[in-house]
Structure 1
Amino acid sequence: MAKPSSTQQDRATEFLKERGIARLSELATAGVTAATIARMKQKGLVVQLGRGLYQLPDAPIDTHHSLAEAAKRVPKGVVALTSALAFHDLTDTIPSMVWLAIGPKDRQPLSTNPPMQFVRFSPERLQEGVETHTIEGCPVKIFSPAKTVVDLFRYRRSAGTRYRHSTGLNLALEGLREALRTRKAKPSEIADFARKAGVWKAMQPYMEAMTANG
């Protein structure tokens, strides 16, 4: 007869194979105790990525592994700005942290691993243009190419409290140019997001110049 811990160990292994990365609370909901996970960690059967976050030691590591970790740590967050641009292959820039958009009143973790940069979006801006991609078995919310480009223009400035973590105009222009060149975003789609965000006047001259030759 199998011991309860062995049964839980098998359950934890199957759960992690299916989910890729899991929080301790998710494992508990699946019927796996913290004591079982602690024993599995001691045996090298699971790897602790951070506080309350686990993965199998032989799990395949995706290029965008940090985005999956961030999604598990901040379930309400949406991958944004530089990180979203890199995910969509619209920049050569390699982000040194994961950029996450959160709501005005959402709690921001005091310390994070991987490093994260948070920007606060209004409920309307946070809900539009969201895509869900699966990374290492984890559903990850990421803004679409068109939405990302517009948000980069919103955060292009370098002064003022709202823009203290500015991504800069050059990155916004690179994102716009590549999104149009690769056809990952339609001009009409970008313009629609830009009007909603109130940055169409700033973007229009660049859009017209980049689409002048069709």
Structure 2
Amino acid sequence: MSIRGLAPVFTLEDARAAGLTRDQVYSLLERDEIERVGRGVYVCPEVLQPAFTALAVATAIREDATLCLTSALVHHDLSDAIPLASDIALPRGTHQPIGLSNVSWHSFDPATFPIGREHADAGGGAKVAIYSAERSIVDTFRLMHQEGSDVAYEALRRWLRRRGNTPTGLLKVAGSFPKALPRIRQALEVLL
């Protein structure tokens, strides 16, 4: 019985497909060779980057799970916040997995969901999706009533200080979000 054929994050169904029985999975769990992180979801310890564990687990259940909002801003070093849970987006109208701890679910419009979606390695070859810095800033302005104006403006200030970032790039992403575009234009006028 070996976990070599398994991904760093896997479900009971994945384990069965790799040739392991439920009893073998439970035996691995008892010997601390794997850890249960959600209902029917397991990880191989010390393989994943700790910052991506919740996202990798969500991705194992829902392939389109994407790190967003404050969690994405922290990933891009645009915020010093310490989120209590990982902000993870799914397309609106899709089922949000239950039984995952440390996850704050968000529903985004399916038409704009893929905009700014990038992929990263979470460790051990596990791929996760994260919204780009530009998309994260746009979402923070778009959802300012939830995230707070101070978070949005601080992220924008930090982003503007970085070499290679231009308002044109941000406005291009913001163009797909008509309600956020005026707020971002106004903030850019104030900060520039």
Q: TM-score, normalised by structure 1?
A: 0.80
Equivalents in 1 of 2:46, 2:148: separation in Å?
A: 39
**Which SS does the other structure have where 1:118 is aligned?**
strand
Contact between 2:49 and 2:122, CA under 8 Å: does it hold in 1? Answer: no
Equivalents in 1 of 2:11, 2:165: separation in Å?
A: 34
Contact between 1:78 and 1:126, CA under 8 Å: does it hold in 2? Answer: no
Question: Which residue is equivalent to 2:29?
Answer: 41
Question: Which residue is equivalent to 2:189?
Answer: 208
Question: Which residue is equivalent to 1:67?
Answer: 55
User: How far does residue 42 in structure 1 lie from its aligned partner after superposition?
Assistant: 2.1
Q: Deviations over 1:126-155 (max 9, x none)?
A: 111100011123211110000110010110
Q: TM-score, normalised by structure 2?
A: 0.89
Equivalents in 2 of 1:202, 1:36: separation in Å?
A: 55
Question: Which residue is equivalent to 1:162?
Answer: none
**Which SS does the other structure have where 1:109 is aligned?**
coil
User: How far does residue 58 in structure 1 lie from its aligned partner after superposition?
Assistant: 4.7
Larger gyration radius, structure 1 or structure 2: 1
User: How far does residue 94 in structure 1 lie from its aligned partner after superposition?
Assistant: 0.9
Contact between 1:98 and 1:116, CA under 8 Å: does it hold in 2? Answer: yes
**Which SS does the other structure have where 1:120 is aligned?**
strand
Structure 1 residues 120 and 44, CA gap change in structure 2 (3 angstroms)? closer
Q: Deviations over 1:97-138 (max 9, x none)?
A: 11111112100224322x222221111221111000111232
Q: Deviations over 1:48-67 (max 9, x none)?
A: 22221222345465333333
- Aligned pairs (5 A) from 1:169-208: 169-183=149-163, 185-198=165-178, 199-208=180-189
Contact between 2:54 and 2:103, CA under 8 Å: does it hold in 1? Answer: no
User: How far does residue 80 in structure 1 lie from its aligned partner after superposition?
Assistant: 0.6
Of all paired residues, the percent bearing the same amino acid is 26
Question: Which residue is equivalent to 1:14?
Answer: 4
- Aligned pairs (5 A) from 1:67-86: 67-86=55-74
- Counterpart amino acid of 2:182? K
- Counterpart amino acid of 1:46? I
Question: Which residue is equivalent to 1:160?
Answer: none
Unmatched tracts of structure 2, length 5 or more: none
Contact between 1:152 and 1:171, CA under 8 Å: does it hold in 2? Answer: yes
Question: Which residue is equivalent to 2:127?
Answer: 139
Contact between 2:39 and 2:99, CA under 8 Å: does it hold in 1? Answer: no
**Which SS does the other structure have where 1:146 is aligned?**
helix
Equivalents in 1 of 2:164, 2:151: separation in Å?
A: 17
User: How far does residue 184 in structure 1 lie from its aligned partner after superposition?
Assistant: 6.9
Equivalents in 1 of 2:177, 2:26: separation in Å?
A: 47
Structure 1 residues 186 and 167, CA gap change in structure 2 (3 angstroms)? same
**Which SS does the other structure have where 2:120 is aligned?**
strand
Counterpart of 2:144 (choices 128, 132, 156) is: 156
Unmatched tracts of structure 1, length 5 or more: 1-8, 158-165
How many residues are paired up?
190
